[in-house]
Structure 1
């Protein structure tokens, strides 16, 4: 009886449907679990985002208040006056009272600020409402020692014993900032700004993750700011959070088993500082309702299976020979041969049955799919080109902010000439960055841009930076790809400062055997051999799409290597000499070109 196509189709349909429904049940259950998990995680992230906006607003007011006090002439005059041994104690007391009144007036303008006090290393305390004490006991306080030893600007929630009695009933989170200087090690006084912990705790209680999930607010050092214990996290989870804090995305989800139970962790970084919100919930708790529905899904699936088998028996009677041509066309589509698949199906086919209708519809789908793929490819190419040019035009925002802070410091110090030099250098860099007419520029322009960048760094870091350039630029016009030297110098300075007190960076440019060599060497932390191997493999396999899809990330070494490979092809060579703790030397070898046509 199985020689009949109809009977064979019925048997096959029944077997396939049974297997399909079993698989569908498993997939549906797993998919439902994933959707529920995803929806819960998304909802938590959305609530975290709203909470983050509130925290950012609070932190913004704290920074604004601190900036007013820090940049005030009253504060600067007080710092210099009390440090001068010549004035009498009475005169110094008047200055202390003047500063206390100024603090009181300023705090009254900021509803978020509970108190603000200034502590000097000689044991002097200046608080609100003319509270002036000579009590060196605060020198042993945990927040004070952490600030000077570890440069921790935030102290977790706790009662401040140095504030008035009415505030000792409330926990506060404190922000610390040096007075009179940007350098903590050189500061003789520190301002402590207290904000009631309720401003952080009450909104956080509205953010839920599951029924019993917990949300933690962690500082940049991974410590809970609101006093919540992290004992259940375990060492692997804390290490994972540390990695995310250093180089992870702004928000996301990861899974772990700290106590042998599957746990879901949702995190989100704050904008203004390196704080992080972390939510923890048991996966079993999150999927409890779905597990209760499992038996109901089994019953419903079994019922649907019976009806599906009956429907399959009926549908099998309507299947005919045109399926062969349709199957052949599908196989060609599966291999990506759309043109041949379109030729397999006649353009004009009489539609007088279901299979004929499916065949015509499938042919129309092939035509539309080909047009869609072509349109999608062109759209993606244009989008990548736009992102690529936007990436070239950007200046690292941290560098721009640091430069503006440098200008502010120079102006405050009345170093007009230095401020003018920095402004001129920054102007040259901006003018160069905004010029997007061509991706190829004269080598001298790239060198001038790098020199302007180096000039700003020398003003900013002074003795902490030893940067020299050995420039043997050819006299004739030489064109290179834009933005390949300065990012190397920026990375060299950045990673050298992490390892050493003095960042030593050497730049060499020379010509040899009709090739141009650009070399940047530093005394930084070096690179792991695995990373060097990965960079070489990416270049050898021309994995340029990974760089072109990076969006707004900073222009880094991968971007430089990818763009040079894109423009110079086999004529581009590079070498990386590096070892952990021993610095890095990166050398780019480019074919000499005297115009756009040579590249």
Structure 2
């Protein structure tokens, strides 16, 4: 029952423990929220660093392209091609190749440089196969200057031709009349952009992609299917590329996407990771805290039962014994306390004194009962005498008569 000592002790312990557990859980939730924000901030900073790296790399290539277009060597080469002077063209071609070699040697980012003029280029001289290539068609039809990862067979050497590259396609213009005469193509290795990307870690299964605004891969990556809502948000930011890393939460699949648009190229760095994976350590820590709290609660309740047993069990037996004693059944009252080991503590003192009290009470009751019984018998006899005194006199006379007869018989014999 609720008013029992054990129940009250357990209730007190529970009322003391539960508030601390709830307070600890609330504090843990606040700490977990702070950790979640910290993890998200760290992920955003990681993606920002990679975006800054790509932005720096592409900006340098863009500056190099501007430098090449503005150089006297390039402008002289364009004019020699327009004049159709074969001797001058050969000399200008030689100068341009040396100029391109110096550009490549002075930059660790640039893999190759080529000029495409009509049906001719700097390294292969003849052939119009590049006109059907994806990078050139995207440039002419859609104005896409930054080419996705591809193989460029119009480079200087077999090794270069078999290496996957990304490139900047830049209009080759005569600065005197600002008319486009061809295109300048500067390539950089795809691996120079992809290797740092592959080193980024978003949990154990998280991935980071470099894509175009329509969701196509920029590097040699297989892009997962991205949510349509995410691509819509990316495309809406295409004109505003200084927004930093944004966060998109796919609540249906419980995924988090981090994305940032590059200002120079328009490319988008997208990191995708499941919430479960990203916050796995927090989840595990929270589960451990709950498990430890449950274990401590069970241990506390068990200790409370054990502690209360040393108090409640003897008192409960005393109460049961008292009920039998109250009803006058001393045998059952003593049987309840039978074989009860008395401990040397306050409860043991109480139990010992209770047993002595019961013994003295039983002895007193038995003595009092016997005295009452004798007194009642005497009162009963006295009452009988009061009720029938004549019969008593008759019996007394008869007794005297028999005594006389007996006396006479004895005297005659003598």
TM range (shorter): 0.5 to 0.7
Q: 2:142 aligns with which of 143, 147, 150?
A: 150
Q: 1:114 aligns with which of 111, 116, 121?
A: 111
Question: Separation in 1 of the partners of 2:67 and 2:254?
Answer: 48
Q: Which has the higher contact order (CA 8 A, sep 6+)?
A: 2
Shift of 1:30: 4.9
Matches for 1:478-557 after TM superposition, within 5 Å: none
Shift of 1:174: 0.5
Q: 1:291 aligns with which of 271, 283, 287?
A: 283
Q: Does 1:188 align with 2:181?
A: yes
Q: Deviations over 1:336-373 (max 9, x none)?
A: xxxxxxxxxxxxxxxxxxxxxxxxxxxxxxxxxxxxxx
Q: Deviations over 1:522-559 (max 9, x none)?
A: xxxxxxxxxxxxxxxxxxxxxxxxxxxxxxxxxxxxxx
Question: Separation in 1 of the partners of 2:147 and 2:98?
Answer: 25
Aligned to 1:230: 223
Are 2:146 and 2:265, in contact at CA under 8 Å, matched by a contact in 1?
Answer: no
Question: Separation in 1 of the partners of 2:153 and 2:27?
Answer: 58
More helix by share: 2
Q: Deviations over 1:55-79 (max 9, x none)?
A: 3332233123212211012212222
Q: 1:255 aligns with which of 233, 249, 265?
A: 249
Cα distance 1:296–1:132, how it changes in 2: closer, same or farther (>3 A)?
closer
After superposition, the CA RMSD in angstroms is 3.4
Are 1:52 and 1:270, in contact at CA under 8 Å, matched by a contact in 2?
Answer: yes
| Higher gyration radius (CA) | 2
Question: Separation in 1 of the partners of 2:129 and 2:179?
Answer: 21
Cα distance 1:33–1:227, how it changes in 2: closer, same or farther (>3 A)?
farther
TM value normalised by structure 1: 0.43
Q: Does 1:139 align with 2:136?
A: no
Are 2:261 and 2:268, in contact at CA under 8 Å, matched by a contact in 1?
Answer: yes
Question: Separation in 1 of the partners of 2:67 and 2:274?
Answer: 45
TM value normalised by structure 2: 0.60
Are 1:159 and 1:168, in contact at CA under 8 Å, matched by a contact in 2?
Answer: yes
Shift of 1:148: 1.6
The number of residues matched between the two structures is 287
Aligned to 2:53: 54
SS of structure 2 residue aligned to 1:211: coil
Question: Separation in 2 of the partners of 1:224 and 1:300?
Answer: 47
Are 2:190 and 2:220, in contact at CA under 8 Å, matched by a contact in 1?
Answer: no
Aligned to 1:178: 171
Aligned to 2:312: none
- Runs of 5+ unmatched residues, structure 2: 1-10, 301-414
Shift of 1:199: 1.4
Are 1:45 and 1:268, in contact at CA under 8 Å, matched by a contact in 2?
Answer: no
Shift of 1:195: 0.7
Q: Does 1:216 align with 2:215?
A: no
Cα distance 1:220–1:23, how it changes in 2: closer, same or farther (>3 A)?
same
Are 1:158 and 1:173, in contact at CA under 8 Å, matched by a contact in 2?
Answer: yes
Q: 2:119 aligns with which of 113, 117, 123?
A: 123
Question: Separation in 2 of the partners of 1:275 and 1:199?
Answer: 16
